[in-house]
Structure 1
């Protein structure tokens, strides 16, 4: 791990409990308009979960504690009762196609997040996936906290345990398969400054509008990786942070869906590598280390483990003198 990343991990990684909600309220009031918060839920056929999330945010963070100023669900074409459930729970529901109607919508989550900037007004925009179960409002308070209390912070990602829950079995750290198999290797090898992010593809993050409005948004599943890489290039590592919010429970995709997601993320990375001329492996632009994370059972902190990424290649055997003597 790069020394600057180790330093960043110590200075820019927190837990949701590090900032009590009373301190967030005080910081929000002191910030005035700069402390206004919009929460956005991108949603596509999330009828079973969206209402519970909206209710928790409205009751805990708008009515009991006035931390969130607006709560918007952007529906990207649901055929179930997602919009109805979200509205009944207290969200303002906007259909994706109603935002910027002159521009035909592209399919994908990133398209919805991009358009949501036109449908919200907060100086801080907080994105929360609509498929979360057992939702905890700390997912919101945790990631908006650094933005409310530290003007130097521009973007905050949530980090969490992500168990794989399928067919009645639970694998404690089995979720985030695309993260571990595709996104983390890509980031470590090509953008090693981002190696400290525990959940680089997580859908829960908050940022200042002044940053988001300057970034391109990949329209599909590559949006999280694209925003993180482009934010690094735009504002630098020290303006980025992460907050531990506990455990994320959500529905899991099947293998083919994960494959499509992985391909989109890989293409998003390739476009940025090409744009910045970082595609050649032999010119020092590839960092041959991989940092992975596990939850320490005693301290409950995330612990980093860094491993070398081997890439030694042997020449064709036909070029080895000893072989040619055996097979002239």
Structure 2
């Protein structure tokens, strides 16, 4: 199986072990480049403050030049928390379709001023600064890398969509990506100019779509992954995970096919006795920003 052989070789070559970042060495490796940390957020007021405070250490050290919170139509105090911390906020327009996480990440790419960037989820408990530094390190050292994904261990249960949907689908449809430990990880470092020239996918299909787009445009060695240790975040319920699973599957169809939109009916049960409930899940291919 040549594709699996390629995946095994990539795993050994492009997996970076967990290590305590040497901030002085990383700052020196920047060599005049700018770096940004982007946090897509929707109703994350409870966890956002400590994350921004932790990331402030990297700003003070000179490793990170800007923090940007991309607010995706929050109804809580997310925007106020970010502004109280002195952090730049980009608010996703309420006009037009709700493009979810993918739309927020795309807005962050447009707004950021860094040459290199890091996406971080805004619902993680602890570790934000070490995650960002670990994701930047390979990009600063190797110009061939375009996208570096994080992987981690979760206390208790977690990663249900990853193991039941994303990894089996990738193994079947794009086995070269079989060695990615957590393809749906929200923690990723990237080279901005390369991502601007690639399509993204709306909603929770964005992570899968980004991997496939980078692979097809730049090859397997443009991807890497780094061990981030342990990660704690809020788990979603099974109904939300079902919709997420549909978007992951749609991302594969969008990036590898000819469609611009995939519409699914997410069917669940409610009430006693149970009644059938369906809502429409729309996943879109978002065109490149440049090129």
**TM-score, normalisation: structure 1:** 0.75
Alignment CA distance shift 1:114-1:126 (3 Å) = same
Which secondary structure state, in structure 1, belongs to the residue aligned with residue 226 of structure 2?
strand
2 CA distance for matches of 1:119 and 1:257? Answer: 29
Which secondary structure state, in structure 1, belongs to the residue aligned with residue 212 of structure 2?
helix
Write the mapping of 1:10-25 to structure 2, written as runs, cut at 5 A. Answer: 10-17=12-19, 20-25=22-27
Question: What's 2:75 paired with?
Answer: 79
Which stretches in structure 2 are left out of the alignment for 5+ residues? 260-291
Question: What's 1:157 paired with?
Answer: 149
Q: Is the contact made by 1:144 and 1:206 (CA closer than 8 Å) also made in structure 2? A: yes
Question: What's 2:269 paired with?
Answer: none
Whether 1:184 aligns to 2:182 is: no
Q: Is the contact made by 1:16 and 1:138 (CA closer than 8 Å) also made in structure 2? A: no
Question: What's 1:70 paired with?
Answer: 66
Instruction: Render the CA deviation track for 1:25-54: whole Å, top value 9, x for unaligned.
Output: 1111x2x2xx21111101100011011111
Whether 1:119 aligns to 2:106 is: no
Question: What's 2:227 paired with?
Answer: 244
**TM-score, normalisation: structure 2:** 0.84
Out of 93, 100, 105, the residue aligned to residue 97 of structure 1 is: 93
Question: How big is the shift at 1:8?
Answer: 1.1
Question: How big is the shift at 1:210?
Answer: 1.4
Question: What's 1:303 paired with?
Answer: none
Question: What's 1:285 paired with?
Answer: none
CA-based RMSD of the aligned residues comes to 1.7
Whether 1:208 aligns to 2:191 is: yes
Question: What's 1:193 paired with?
Answer: 176
Question: What's 2:11 paired with?
Answer: 9
Question: How big is the shift at 1:4?
Answer: 1.8
2 CA distance for matches of 1:18 and 1:149? Answer: 16
Which structure would you say has the larger Rg? Answer: 1
Question: How big is the shift at 1:16?
Answer: 3.9
Which stretches in structure 1 are left out of the alignment for 5+ residues? 164-170, 277-328
2 CA distance for matches of 1:228 and 1:248? Answer: 21
1 CA distance for matches of 2:28 and 2:79? Answer: 34
Question: How big is the shift at 1:254?
Answer: 0.3
Question: What's 1:316 paired with?
Answer: none
Write the mapping of 1:218-257 to structure 2, written as runs, cut at 5 A. Answer: 218-257=201-240
Question: What's 2:265 paired with?
Answer: none
Question: How big is the shift at 1:74?
Answer: 0.9
Alignment CA distance shift 1:90-1:16 (3 Å) = farther
Aligned length: 257
